[in-house]
Amino acid sequence: MINPQRETDRLEYFSDAVIAIAATLLSVDLKAPRADALSGTTLLDALVQQWPSYLAFAVSFLFIGISWAAHHDMFNYVRRTNHIMLILNLMFLMGIALQPFSTALLAEHIGEEGERTAAMVFYGVLLLTSVSYNAVWHYAIWRGLIEDCLDARLLRALSIEHAVAPLLHLSALLVAFWSVPLSLIPVLLLYVFFALPRVAERLIVGGRQIPGFGEGLEQ
């Protein structure tokens, strides 16, 4: 009989490829000002005028980078997969693949009449991606696809940590109804949060693993 629970290598390789392509495509909309289009302005002025594109690129690239790092960390704990897990992971990757579109949309309409709509699409894609990521994690726990000997305290702490991203993205989406510039604050807070030491590091004190924390997870 075919075992429905498989190793995660192919899922991780495919995910890495999609994430890498999406991150690369973000730079496509960064246009170098043409010399014949400066019309009396300096190159520096022309570059400054494109600040929305640079800002949207930075926000999206950092999000994709954080998503890749978090996805990599998650699969230090997830050891098996099945068909439903693959579908949930595809939803996560769909959100990643939409980043170049939502980023270009936001960059094009910042400061224009459609700014709020563009921001809501942008944050909606971020929310879809982070919710899908959490769905992968919680499904893995529910179906027992994680490392068998993980401590329950670690699982709870990781689940809380993963929940921060969708909460902050939802906050950004709601704030965008009122003020698009202020809606960047929850996103910046998310980047600060993920720059802090990870929860797994805080649960391993003095190089000694907590009881039940499986060995061989330090990849």
Q: What's the pLDDT at 199?
A: 57
Q: Which of 29, 74, 50, 66 is nearest to 188 (CA)?
A: 66
For the record, the structure tokens of 85 come out as: 């897990």
**141 belongs to a structural domain:** yes
pLDDT at 214: 43
Q: Which domain holds residue 173?
A: 9-29+41-203
CA distance 211 to 219: 19
Would residue 216 count as lying in a domain? no
pTM for the model stands at 0.82
Widest distance between CA atoms in the chain: 73
Give, in degrees to the nearest 5, the angle at Cα 202 between 197 and 208: 130
Who contacts 136 (Cβ-Cβ below 8 Å, separation ≥6)? 74, 78, 85, 88, 89, 92
**What percent helix, strand, coil does the chain show, rounded to 5?**
70, 5, 30
The Cα 92–Cα 100 span in angstroms is: 15
**pLDDT score of 1:** 44
Within a domain: 48: yes
DSSP classification of residue 98:
T
* In a domain? residue 175: yes
Total number of domains in the chain: 1
Structure tokens at 184: 């960047």
Regions of the chain short of the pLDDT cut 50: 1-2, 5, 204-219
| Residue-level pLDDT at 27 | 86
Give domain status of residue 217, yes or no: no
